């Protein structure tokens, strides 16, 4: 399969990220993950989504939504009313992305105990005083 060729996933000739890597970056980015998970449930208005996620600045939410919209994952529905009302939802492509991300998120959650144990073992194995 094509993905087995690791070099394909590294830098492009110009020193930037390859196209597929950019998409992966967008959907797994700090806020991208949370936007996809939230919108998978239902559509949200901008401020509503901001409250739902929590801790995200206006700037970053705007940027994340625009990136995902450009990538064809998010649909933006701006109603021409005053005050402005904009609804965000997932496209077909976005639903697929959200499903992938959710799968990864659920694996992470399932295996978190194993990771925590590994960390404790790792930290203890080189803790100061362990050999005195």
Partner DNA sequence: CGGTATCCAAAAGGATACTG
Partner DNA sequence: CAGTATCCTTTTGGATACCG
Q: Cα–Cα distance between 59 and 4 in angstroms, integer?
A: 36
Count, residues near DNA per rule CB under 7 A: 21
Neighbours of 89 (CB within 10 A): 15
Least separation in angstroms between CB 29 and DNA: 6
- How many CA atoms, within 13 angstroms, populate the side-chain half-sphere of residue 38? 22
Q: Is 30 in the site for DNA (CB under 7 A)?
A: yes
Side-chain half-sphere of 120: how many Cα atoms within 13 Å? 6
Go through 50-65 and write b for each residue having 16 or more CB atoms within 10 A of its CB, e for each that does not.
bebbeebeeeebeebb
Site pattern 54..93 for DNA (x: CB under 7 A): -xxxxxx-x--xx---------x-x----xxxx-------
Q: Does 42 bind DNA (CB under 7 A)?
A: no
Binding mask 35-74 for a copy of itself (x = CB under 8 A): --xx--x----------xxxxx------------xxxx--
Which listed residue (18, 40, 48, 102) binds DNA by CB under 7 A?
48
Packing angle between helix 46-53 and helix 58-70, nearest 10 degrees? 110
Interface ranges with DNA (CB under 7 A) = 29-30, 45-48, 55-60, 62, 65-66, 76, 78, 83-86
């Amino acid at each position: 399969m094509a993905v087995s060729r690791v070099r394909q996933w590294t830098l492009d000739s110009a020193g930037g990220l390859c196209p597929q890597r950019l998409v992966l970056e967008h959907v797994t980015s700090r806020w991208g993950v949370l936007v996809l998970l939230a919108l998978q449930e239902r559509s949200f208005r901008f401020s509503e989504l901001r409250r739902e996620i929590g801790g995200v600045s206006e700037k970053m939410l705007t940027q994340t939504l625009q990136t995902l919209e450009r990538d064809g994952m998010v649909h933006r529905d701006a109603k021409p009313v005053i005050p402005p009302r904009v609804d965000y939802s997932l496209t077909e492509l976005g639903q697929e992305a959200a499903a992938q991300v959710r799968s990864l998120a659920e694996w992470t959650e399932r295996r978190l105990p194993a990771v925590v144990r590994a960390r404790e073992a790792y930290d203890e194995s080189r803790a100061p005083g362990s050999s005195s």
